[in-house]
Amino acid sequence: MAEFDLIARILARAGVRADVALGIGDDGALLVPPAGQQLVAVCDTLNAGVHFLPDADPADIGWKSLAVNLSDLAAMGATPSWALLSLSLPQADADFVERFMQGFSALADESQIALVGGDTTHGSLSVGVTALGFVPAGMAMTRGGARPGDAVYVSGTLGDAAAALRLQQSVDGAAGVSPALLARLNRPTPRVTLGQALRGVANAAIDISDGLLADLAHVARASGVGIELQAGALPISKALSALASATQRVRWQATGGDDYELAFTLPPERVPALEGLGVTCIGRVVAGEGVRLRDGTGESVVFEQAGWEHFTGATQ
Ligand code: ADP
Ligand code: MG
């Protein structure tokens, strides 16, 4: 199986869009962005043994490699359009590529993304995706717009993926983890529609990939504000609320990675715009700095780790 045959299998699932003047097959893709829009470009890599277990289902790896990028686009308020895929493979494994593209294209088709190019090389298993999207000029959300007095919201529920990963690594393996939790780890749902709905509503937004506290610390720093959160307000799934101790659950919710939910801030007068969006108020923006999580009695809840960070081994 040569590189060319692998690329042919990828091409078969690349998807089509009218704004792709030239897709896979030449030295570069020719893309036609709509007038009046800004391009949003994001890039995230998944490495075997770091971001996924070496024996993970290739279809899950395909889905997640795109999902983590769509989550970044969602946090910017962008409408996804195109992706590029850099695949490093230990061997020219057609089955792996087929399964991988099944997962990748399931999400790409659902999100109306066309795969327009990439690179296929020999090396240890690694998947890099670059995704592009549009936002009306000047309308992108950033981490820097939070203001004292804003309410802090989060989408969906928190901690499921972290709990699934931890339970999967314990005695029973994946078989011992509820399918609802495993799906949150292996097939995260990027909040693309929500991100677009928040344009012009949220003052600041971020997607939660490394842990709520760690990611909101980026918002606090970029905005020059402090953030106060209520532990009891953090949204929790049914599956997670049946597990472990209350302390452990809050730890997963506040510091576990891989949620791919959106956290955002907005002035209280815009809260009615959130009706029906499946989001939960978890705190408020204050003058000052840093992120504080408080329990029901107002005491600070402190964890030794706020979230995941590469190179330093996790402590932030
Ligand atoms: P070049 O040598 O000019 O970089 P390649 O032979 O690597 O070209 O790639 C041929 C075509 O296939 C290009 O259009 C490239 O974007 C596309 N391609 C290669 N690998 C991938 C991949 N993993 N996913 C999507 N497109 C790919
Ligand atoms: Mg070339």
pLDDT at residue 283 tops 70: yes
> Distance between CA atoms of 210 and 215, rounded to whole angstroms?
6
Hey, what amino acid is at 210? Answer: D
Q: Is the CB of 25 under 6 A from ligand 1?
A: yes
CA distances from 123 to 62, 71, 177 (A): 17, 27, 32
Per-residue pLDDT of 93-108, as tens digits, reads: 999 999 999 999 999 9
> Distance between CA atoms of 88 and 68, rounded to whole angstroms?
18
Contact 45, 125 (CB under 8 A): no
Q: Is the CB of 88 under 6 A from ligand 1?
A: no
The pLDDT score that the predictor gives to residue 310 is: 63
Which atom of ligand 1 is least distant from the CA of 25?
Answer: 14
The pLDDT score that the predictor gives to residue 10 is: 97
Query: What pLDDT band is residue 54 in, cutting at 50, 70 and 90?
Result: confident
Which atom of ligand 1 is least distant from the CA of 14?
Answer: 25
> Distance between CA atoms of 282 and 216, rounded to whole angstroms?
12
pLDDT at residue 143 tops 50: yes
Q: Is the CB of 119 under 6 A from ligand 1?
A: yes
The pLDDT score that the predictor gives to residue 169 is: 85
Q: Is the CB of 118 under 6 A from ligand 1?
A: yes
Q: Is the CB of 27 under 6 A from ligand 1?
A: yes
Q: Which ligand is nearest to the CA of 26?
A: 1
Query: What pLDDT band is residue 171 in, cutting at 50, 70 and 90?
Result: low
CA of 28 relative to ligand 2 center, distance in Å: 7
Query: What pLDDT band is residue 244 in, cutting at 50, 70 and 90?
Result: confident
Strands 151-155 and 279-286: antiparallel
pLDDT at residue 316 tops 60: no
Hey, what amino acid is at 263? Answer: A
pLDDT at residue 315 tops 80: no
In this prediction, residues 26-53 reach a mean pLDDT of 95
Closest protein CA for atom 20 of ligand 1: 119
The pLDDT score that the predictor gives to residue 1 is: 59
The pLDDT score that the predictor gives to residue 16 is: 95
The pLDDT score that the predictor gives to residue 253 is: 97
The pLDDT score that the predictor gives to residue 291 is: 98
Query: What pLDDT band is residue 23 in, cutting at 50, 70 and 90?
Result: very high
- What percentage of residues in the chain have a pLDDT greater than 90? 87
The pLDDT score that the predictor gives to residue 152 is: 99
> DSSP alpha helices (H): ranges in 2-150?
3-11, 58-76, 94-110
> Distance between CA atoms of 101 and 96, rounded to whole angstroms?
8
Q: Is the CB of 97 under 6 A from ligand 1?
A: no
Beta-carbon neighbour count of residue 232 at 10 Å? 11
Q: Is the CB of 262 under 6 A from ligand 1?
A: no
The candidate with the shortest Cα–Cα distance to 229, out of 151, 282, 154, 297, is 282
Q: What is the DSSP string of 123-159?
A: SSSEEEEEEEEEEETT----SS---TT-EEEEES-SS
Could you tell which of 3, 7, 96, 122 is best to mutate to test the pocket of ligand 1, judged by most ligand atoms within 8 Å of the CB? 7
Q: Is the CB of 87 under 6 A from ligand 1?
A: yes
3-state secondary structure of 245: coil
In this prediction, residues 11-21 reach a mean pLDDT of 97
Query: What pLDDT band is residue 308 in, cutting at 50, 70 and 90?
Result: low
Per-residue pLDDT of 102-125, as tens digits, reads: 999 999 999 999 999 999 999 999
> Distance between CA atoms of 235 and 22, rounded to whole angstroms?
44
Tell me which residue has tokens 């199986």: 1
